[in-house]
Amino acid sequence: MNFLSLIEKKREGKVLLPEQIHKFIREFTAGQIPDYQMSAMLMAIYFRGLNTAETTALTLAMRDSGDVLKFPKDKRPLVDKHSTGGIGDKVSLPLAPLLACLGFRVPMISGRGLGITGGTLDKLDSIPGFQSLLPAAQIVKQVQQVGCVICGQTDTMVPADKKIYALRDASGTVPSIPLITASILSKKLAESLGALILDVKFGCAAFMQTKADARKLARAMVALGNECGTSTRAILTDMNTPLGRAAGNWLEVKESVACLEGKSPADMMELILDCAAHLLIQTKKSKTFADARKLAGACLNSGAPRAKWDEMLAAQGADLKAFNRKLTLDATAKVVVEVKSAKAGYISWCDARIIGEVIRDLGGGRLMKEAHINYDVGVDQMAKPGEWVEKNAVLCRVHATDSTQAKIAMARLKTAFAFAAKRAVKAPLVSEMISR
């Protein structure tokens, strides 16, 4: 194909035909289009955009560049949730077993963290023996038998996205709404879902810093997901402050288990139940949002999702004995230090970006894709905006590999908290829902 003429067409702001998009994605995946030409196309798309038909074509072409999961007919709907990523965002972990107990099948294909945002797979890799990379046949088998799986993308799923994402990363073309939409949805559509809930975050630690940008991305993804036959909704959620009281891979697994045992921080619980409730409505299992939330809450309280979590872990090779022993430990990092408040007052701000940067620099996140991470480091017992703290009370704890690292982290963490004499009105966690 004459790919150069398509690059020029997009450069001039013209519309590409669906068949042209399908063909160049096929050829690029097969190695017949060089990276430098694809990078030029990505830059043209970055500046000129894609209309809905073009974005749909790109998404479907990317989905079809590899294996699409095929599930046997079953009355349990296939559902999933995707988050654009944040600090302390561990919602997927308790949500998958909860959804399985609510009568869904959940093929939750997740990713690793990059930069300050954590990745679901990194969190799960802190569990002794847990296998996060499974072949497609095993993913399908586990979903059918257990009801849920949380694992990574196989080598043969959406290979076009892997190649294109690497080029976007190296060519400054990541922040493009049609490219993000196609990247995220091609992977989700390869799970053959009936319904999808998207948690699109905004704020200082989010991919989209403003609510207006988050809304734009959410609208594009919702429209396209629905157009492709997957019932899709999005919620816009605040990521100025971390979710829950713990951030860092193992510490988040611990908080997720606490959540399944009825000891969840309020914001985590709100998001878990909201995501479950939307999926219950989308699949017509509940009529009203209030009913759906009640059903999800009762299910979580029943203890069944906690047992399902163990079942999922065991199916993925985890050593449950070692895992449960690890859960009883207060800390797995070598050094744990308390960060104390210099004064009394209401917490008015806890900066998620600073917390995320501290954890990344402690070794809990990656600056480069290939970097190894330390699962034990992080921050827990975080005070939340709106709470009163006395002078010398614990604002948070640092889990570090040595005392030098801990000291540096402590100094930075002190700057993450702001105080006020009066309790400020808390910003809502979930501020909008988009269904079309």
**Catalytic residue IDs:** 82, 161, 168, 183, 187
Q: Which stretch binds ligand URA (CB under 6 A): 31-39, 176-184, 238-246, 267-275?
A: 176-184
Least Cβ distance, residue 184 to ligand URA (angstroms)? 5
Q: State which amino acid sits at residue 338.
A: E
Q: Which is nearer to ligand URA, 144 or 171 (CB)?
A: 171
Q: Which stretch binds ligand URA (CB under 6 A): 99-107, 175-183, 191-199, 396-404?
A: 175-183
Q: Which is nearer to ligand URA, 123 or 397 (CB)?
A: 123
For 289, residues 6+ apart whose C-beta sits below 8 A from its C-beta are: 277, 278, 281
Size of the site for ligand URA (CB under 6 A): 5
Measure the CA–CA gap between 232 and 435, rounded to whole angstroms: 7
How far is CA 342 from each of CA 53, 345, 388, 389, 414, rounded to the nearest angstrom? 56, 10, 13, 10, 9
| Residue written as token pair 């699409």 | 68
| 45 contacts ligand URA (rule: CB under 6 A) | no
3-state helix, strand, coil in the chain (%, to 5): 45, 15, 35
Q: Which is nearer to ligand URA, 44 or 184 (CB)?
A: 184
Measure the CA–CA gap between 305 and 97, rounded to whole angstroms: 5
**Residue 301: in which H helix or E strand, if any?**
helix 289-301
Q: Which stretch binds ligand URA (CB under 6 A): 10-18, 180-188, 245-253, 333-341?
A: 180-188
Q: Which is nearer to ligand URA, 180 or 352 (CB)?
A: 180
Q: Could you tell me the sign of the dihedral formed by the alpha carbons of 51, 56, 59, 62, in that order?
A: negative
Q: Which is nearer to ligand URA, 79 or 179 (CB)?
A: 179
| 109 contacts ligand URA (rule: CB under 6 A) | no
Least Cβ distance, residue 277 to ligand URA (angstroms)? 25
Answer whether 347's CB lies under 8 Å from 215's CB.
Answer: no
Least Cβ distance, residue 246 to ligand URA (angstroms)? 23
Name the strands in the sheet holding 378-380, side by side, starting at the edge strand that comes first in the sequence: 335-340, 394-400, 378-380
Report the residue closest to ligand URA, judged by CB: 183
Q: Is 104 helix (H, G, I), strand (E, B) or coil?
A: coil
| 180 contacts ligand URA (rule: CB under 6 A) | yes
Measure the CA–CA gap between 371 and 354, rounded to whole angstroms: 21
| 33 contacts ligand URA (rule: CB under 6 A) | no
Measure the CA–CA gap between 143 and 127, rounded to whole angstroms: 20
Q: Which stretch binds ligand URA (CB under 6 A): 16-24, 121-129, 173-181, 258-266?
A: 173-181
Q: Which of 99, 184, 277, 377 binds ligand URA (CB under 6 A)?
A: 184
For 183, residues 6+ apart whose C-beta sits below 8 A from its C-beta are: 62, 161, 164, 165, 168
| 183 contacts ligand URA (rule: CB under 6 A) | yes
Q: Which stretch binds ligand URA (CB under 6 A): 18-26, 67-75, 177-185, 285-293?
A: 177-185
Site residues for ligand URA per CB under 6 A: 174, 179-180, 183-184
